[in-house]
A and B are shown apart, each in its own frame.
Chain A
Amino acid sequence: MLRAEGLNLSVPGKVLCRDLNIVIKPGECWGILGRNGSGKTTLLHALSGLRAPDAGLVSWDGKPLPDYPRRELARQIGVLPQDEGHEFWGTALEYVLLGRYPHSRGFGITDGDEEAALAALQQVGMADMAHRTLITLSGGERQRVRIAMLLAQAPQHYCLDEPLQHLDLGHQAEALRLLQRLAVEEGKAVLMVLHETLWAGRYCDHILMLYDEGRVLAGSAAELMTLKNLEELYRCGLREIETEVGSYFLPA
């Protein structure tokens, strides 16, 4: 269980988040929404231990994140950052195997690691490309391999920064179903930065909305995903189109 208490975050000249208190429980799927530069990524980093907050405390299972040994924390909380580019010359399978690092003891790769990596590639539909060199894959395929590395890491809490980037519509839906299954069936917690309100409304049960001046709305998706909230959030007039799979919000 991830808990943030009195969390304050700022970057030079801007307060991103003021006195945020949230609890993310196993089985929940959270979406972070906000305008460009509103602090979505910074918040994700603070909640996953990649960045120290300006004030407040983030804890996992009652213990502050900085008190965890690094690898132990990496077994609890896994992160898919935005693509930083990479220097990697090996195959997709070798790439995914790096995700096993927090579980490795000593030096070698065990059969268990290889199985976990192959299973992860299978889950994102990339098993038949396991032995392709990573740099020969397309952007979307590479993004699925990046998600597979996070699956191979097998944390209890998944943090993903725009996991749908580079993915086509079908693979966007597949990736979100995969993450939802992790939460609902395996009791993992998922926290992700999203731009697509349709996906957020459909696959997230909780939403964090980052407004100006550090104001944050946090709560159930059903309550927060309203026309009024989203118009204010994106500072943009919207129209709501209801369908049987959820509400579309389109610029008016």
Chain B
Amino acid sequence: MSRPFLLILFLILTPLSLLAGVAFGSVDLSLGEVMCALAGKEAGLATDIVWQLRLPRVASAFACGGSLALAGALLQALLRNPLADPYVLGISGGSAVAALVAMLFGLAAAAVNFAALGGALAAVGLVFALGFGRGGNMQRLLLTGVVLSAGFGALISLLLTLAPGAQVRGMLFWLMGDLSQAQAPGLAWGVLVAALALAWWQANSLDILGLGELKAKSLGVAVRPLQLGIYFTASAATAAVVVEAGAIGFVGLIVPHFVRLLGVSGHRWLLPLAVLAGGSFLTLADTLARTAIAPQQLPVGVLTALLGVPLLLFLLTRRT
């Protein structure tokens, strides 16, 4: 499929997925009621549900999905490794440890979010210092991230073991990624737009980085500053998501590959298409998470994997 065609397709799919997210929920509203509510014509239950509950959540879901896809594509380019995802360098692990500790002490949701942000930033700083430090290279960065992630994983298991039974469910939701607390999409949107603009500006250099550091340098790319820029851009996008919605898995790994398997290679197209695809994908997955067994909600991270695995496997087999 040609790239402009894909862009148009995704630009059509995006508002449809957003509309689906607003139209469906645990309370049945007809499309007419939703439209009336969106137009803000009359006050009432439908208007409250749409404006207070569904729109903020849909906006959060889209921003988170887009950010994860962007961060995944960036880290795959930085580490030159198709297995990289937004969490491979330990951001989610560090964030989760801090958030779980805050939950263990029974702190309020806002404080948990604050702890999650602190944990994410601490992990970013630690991996930066150890991986980019003297004589650092991308392989060391990746290994540092993987090792720290394993350490965080052990701490998470420890915290889950120590936590009283009543708290474990909330912790598991946080760990699998869950948008039910996500009501303030402003930060995630701001970070997404800024990160996409920065990354898009460097799209050509990102393509060249894929050729290897020596070749990139010989073509006139400032390799180390570019690597640092990608690292911090991807980290900011990931941290914003983790604070908003916990560690939603899989979107950041598969969405960039999904777009590539549709035949897109250069980052100038890959990045915006991945953001649109990731945003739409997470919005739809979250809509399902809210409605599949309503009124109970599923963690959206479960659905992203359950939907994404067969889709990507299908594309992989069809491609070769």
Is A98 a contact of B77 with CB atoms below 8 Å? no
The chain B residue with its CB closest to the CB of A159 is B218
* Stretch of A26-34, A82-90, A219-227, A240-248 with 4 or more beta carbons under 8 angstroms from chain B: A82-90
For the complex formed, measure the closest distance between the CB of A42 and the CB atoms of chain B, giving whole angstroms: 12
Contacts of B219 in A (CB 8 A): 74, 98-99, 101-102, 153
Supposing A86-B210, A87-B80 touch, asked if A74 and B218 sit within 8 A by C-beta, the answer is: yes
B76, B211, B222: the one within 8 Å of A88 (CB): B211
Determine if A70 is an interface residue (Cβ-Cβ < 8 Å).
yes
For the complex formed, measure the closest distance between the CB of A123 and the CB atoms of chain B, giving whole angstroms: 19
Determine if B220 is an interface residue (Cβ-Cβ < 8 Å).
yes
Is B265 a contact of A89 with CB atoms below 8 Å? yes
Interchain Cβ contacts under 8 Å between A and B, 22 examples: A45-B214, A49-B218, A50-B214, A70-B220, A71-B220, A73-B220, A75-B220, A77-B218, A79-B218, A81-B212, A84-B213, A84-B215, A86-B80, A86-B211, A87-B77, A88-B265, A89-B265, A94-B265, A101-B208, A101-B221, A102-B220, A153-B219
Determine if B186 is an interface residue (Cβ-Cβ < 8 Å).
no
Contacts of A86 in B (CB 8 A): 80, 210-212
Is B220 a contact of A101 with CB atoms below 8 Å? yes
Determine if A143 is an interface residue (Cβ-Cβ < 8 Å).
no
Contacts of A69 in B (CB 8 A): 220
Determine if B170 is an interface residue (Cβ-Cβ < 8 Å).
no
Determine if A104 is an interface residue (Cβ-Cβ < 8 Å).
yes
The chain A residue with its CB closest to the CB of B201 is A107
Is A78 a contact of B218 with CB atoms below 8 Å? yes
By a beta-carbon cutoff of 8 Å, the part of chain A in contact with chain B is 45, 48-50, 69-75, 77-79, 81, 84-91, 94, 98-99, 101-102, 104, 107, 153
For the complex formed, measure the closest distance between the CB of A129 and the CB atoms of chain B, giving whole angstroms: 16
Q: How far is the CA of A79 from the CA of B211 in the complex (A)?
A: 12
A45, A74, A87: the one within 8 Å of B220 (CB): A74
Is B214 a contact of A79 with CB atoms below 8 Å? yes
For the complex formed, measure the closest distance between the CB of A145 and the CB atoms of chain B, giving whole angstroms: 12
Determine if B260 is an interface residue (Cβ-Cβ < 8 Å).
yes
Contacts of B265 in A (CB 8 A): 88-91, 94
For the complex formed, measure the closest distance between the CB of A94 and the CB atoms of chain B, giving whole angstroms: 6
For residues 160 through 208 of chain B, which have their beta carbon under 8 Å from a beta carbon of chain A? 204-205, 207-208
By a beta-carbon cutoff of 8 Å, the part of chain B in contact with chain A is 76-77, 80-82, 204-205, 207-208, 210-215, 217-222, 260, 265-266, 268
For the complex formed, measure the closest distance between the CB of B273 and the CB atoms of chain A, giving whole angstroms: 13
A/B pair count, beta carbons within 8 Å: 73
For the complex formed, measure the closest distance between the CB of B251 and the CB atoms of chain A, giving whole angstroms: 19
Is B266 a contact of A94 with CB atoms below 8 Å? yes
Q: A49-B218, A84-B212, A102-B220 are in contact. List 7 more A-B contacts (CB 8 A).
A: A70-B222, A75-B220, A90-B266, A94-B265, A94-B266, A98-B207, A101-B204
For the complex formed, measure the closest distance between the CB of A244 and the CB atoms of chain B, giving whole angstroms: 38
For the complex formed, measure the closest distance between the CB of A233 and the CB atoms of chain B, giving whole angstroms: 26
Contacts of B212 in A (CB 8 A): 81, 84-86
Q: How far is the CA of A136 from the CA of B76 in the complex (A)?
A: 21
Is B220 a contact of A84 with CB atoms below 8 Å? no
For the complex formed, measure the closest distance between the CB of B213 and the CB atoms of chain A, giving whole angstroms: 7
For the complex formed, measure the closest distance between the CB of A193 and the CB atoms of chain B, giving whole angstroms: 14
Which 10 pairs across A and B sit closest by C-beta, in order of nearness?
A84-B212, A90-B265, A74-B220, A71-B220, A79-B218, A70-B220, A87-B210, A81-B214, A89-B265, A102-B220
For the complex formed, measure the closest distance between the CB of A77 and the CB atoms of chain B, giving whole angstroms: 8
For the complex formed, measure the closest distance between the CB of B72 and the CB atoms of chain A, giving whole angstroms: 14
Q: How far is the CA of A209 from the CA of B210 in the complex (A)?
A: 33
Contacts of B215 in A (CB 8 A): 79, 81, 84
Is B218 a contact of A81 with CB atoms below 8 Å? yes
Contacts of A48 in B (CB 8 A): 218
Contacts of A79 in B (CB 8 A): 214-215, 218
Contacts of A107 in B (CB 8 A): 204, 268
Is A98 a contact of B211 with CB atoms below 8 Å? yes
Contacts of B260 in A (CB 8 A): 89
Contacts of A50 in B (CB 8 A): 214, 217-218
For the complex formed, measure the closest distance between the CB of A200 and the CB atoms of chain B, giving whole angstroms: 23
Q: How far is the CA of A50 from the CA of B260 in the complex (A)?
A: 31
Supposing A71-B220, A102-B220 touch, asked if A84 and B211 sit within 8 A by C-beta, the answer is: yes
Supposing A87-B82, A87-B210 touch, asked if A104 and B218 sit within 8 A by C-beta, the answer is: no
Contacts of B211 in A (CB 8 A): 84, 86, 88, 98
Q: How far is the CA of A86 from the CA of B265 in the complex (A)?
A: 13
Contacts of A88 in B (CB 8 A): 207, 210-211, 265
Contacts of B268 in A (CB 8 A): 107
Contacts of B221 in A (CB 8 A): 70, 101
Contacts of B220 in A (CB 8 A): 69-75, 101-102
Q: How far is the CA of A70 from the CA of B208 in the complex (A)?
A: 14
For the complex formed, measure the closest distance between the CB of A56 and the CB atoms of chain B, giving whole angstroms: 20
